[in-house]
Amino acid sequence: MSADSDEIDSLIGVYNADGTLSGELRYWFGARLGRAHCALCEITHGSFLEKDEWKRVSGALPVPFEAVHLNERSPALKAASGTATPCVIASTGNGFEMLLGAEELEACRSEPQALAAAILAAAEARQLRFAARS
């Protein structure tokens, strides 16, 4: 982690689904039947694969962006995100800080560029700076 407490050194997106094969299948079928929903999944993925636009947009963010599933969270990340998933968490010198929750991700309307703009706006609103990308 960064030594500077108000500096974001990475971003973590938490999907509202488990990353196991059964979890992925349960989500995929549930989404098609209207029983499961994850706004972050819709921003980053198409029906099966990661969106090319998301790959470009995430690569242009000021710091690395990693996405994890519910069952892949560390104890500290689980404490920071709790049941507020999907979400985007900033990793700072002070630990984890929630940047975007489900409502803000819904407002992005499945658009990767809108997510990037929302991340930058949320960081600015919290007076957080981005560490230099290494």
Residue 101 within a domain: yes
Task: Count up the domains in the chain and report the number.
Answer: 1
Q: Does 59 score more than 70 pLDDT? A: yes
Q: Is the pTM value of this prediction over 0.75? A: yes
Q: pLDDT value at position 1?
A: 42
Q: How far is CA 84 from CA 13, 47, 53, 113, 121, in A?
A: 12, 24, 26, 22, 20
Structural domain containing residue 19? 7-130
Residues 6+ positions from 122 with CB-CB distance below 8 Å: 88, 99, 100, 104
Residue pLDDT, tens place only, 17-52:
876 766 667 767 666 777 767 899 999 988 778 999
Say if residues 46 and 63 touch (Cβ distance below 8 Å): no
Higher pLDDT, 1 or 91: 91
Residue 2 within a domain: no
Q: Is 7 helix (H, G, I), strand (E, B) or coil?
A: strand
Other Cβ atoms less than 10 A from the Cβ of 5: the count is: 11
> 13 — phi, psi (to 5°)?
-95, 135
- Pick the closest to residue 55 from 12, 2, 113, 125 (CA basis): 113
Q: Is 83 helix (H, G, I), strand (E, B) or coil?
A: coil
Residue 1 within a domain: no
Identify the CATH number of the domain in which residue 38 sits.
3.40.30
Render 91-128 in DSSP notation, one character per residue. EETTEEEEEE-HHHHHHTTT-HHHHHHHHHHHHHHTTP
